[in-house]
A = this chain, B = another copy of it.
Amino acid sequence: MSLSVYLSGEIHTDWRDVIEKGARAAGLDVDFSAPVTDHDASDDCGVAILGAEETGFWKDHKGAKLNAIRTRTLIEQADVVVVRFGEKYKQWNAAFDAGYAAALGTPLVVLHAPEHTHALKEVDGAALAVAETPEQVVDILCYVLTGKLPG
């Protein structure tokens, strides 16, 4: 058994690395994917490729749509979508991805600190697992793929 796992959400901490290294260390057959995690490239891609805009709205619009070519393709191909909510920013795109995955019926794992439990209750309610640490996500993937529990 192998899994395609899309890692959505926060791009300012190393949680993706922790999960990918943990999965590799455990010898799991997982194919990870993610949005573009270079914040500047992600913000500027629309105008850098398709030409400058006068307003922030259309600059953002062009960029968001280019990013959507990548993110929707990967979410639709994923067997599991993991969405991480961090400490900063509004992170509406993370919640948007969670809703997108939920509507597709794709298994959803949410990763966030306990203080966000109430604000994320709808998102958690649609998830098959709610983790607090990236290590737990590795344990989940390990269990799903091999039936082995940690420790």
Q: Tell me the A residues contacting B by CB distance below 8 Å.
A: 1, 3, 33, 36-38, 41-42, 44-45, 48-50, 54-58, 60-74, 79-80, 85, 89-105, 107, 109, 114, 116-131, 136, 139-140, 143-145, 147-151
Q: How far is the CB of A85 from chain B (nearest CB, A)?
A: 7
Q: How far is the CB of A131 from chain B (nearest CB, A)?
A: 6
Q: Give the top 7 A-B pairs by smallest Cβ distance, nearest first.
A: A99-B99, A64-B125, A103-B103, A95-B95, A60-B121, A96-B99, A36-B147
Please, which residue of chain B has its CB at the minimum distance from the CB of A62? Answer: B129
Add 10 more A-B contacts to A1-B74, A41-B143, A48-B150 (CB < 8 A): A41-B147, A48-B149, A48-B151, A49-B150, A56-B117, A64-B121, A66-B128, A69-B80, A92-B119, A94-B95
Task: Evaluate contact between A50 and B128: CB separation under 8 angstroms.
Answer: no
A121 to chain B: which residues have CB within 8 Å? 60-61, 63-64, 93
Task: Evaluate contact between B38 and A147: CB separation under 8 angstroms.
Answer: yes
Please, which residue of chain B has its CB at the minimum distance from the CB of A51? Answer: B132
Please, which residue of chain B has its CB at the minimum distance from the CB of A36? Answer: B147
Q: How far is the CB of A12 from chain B (nearest CB, A)?
A: 14
Total identical chains: 8
Q: Which of B37, B95, B100, B144 is A69 in contact with, Cβ under 8 Å?
A: B144
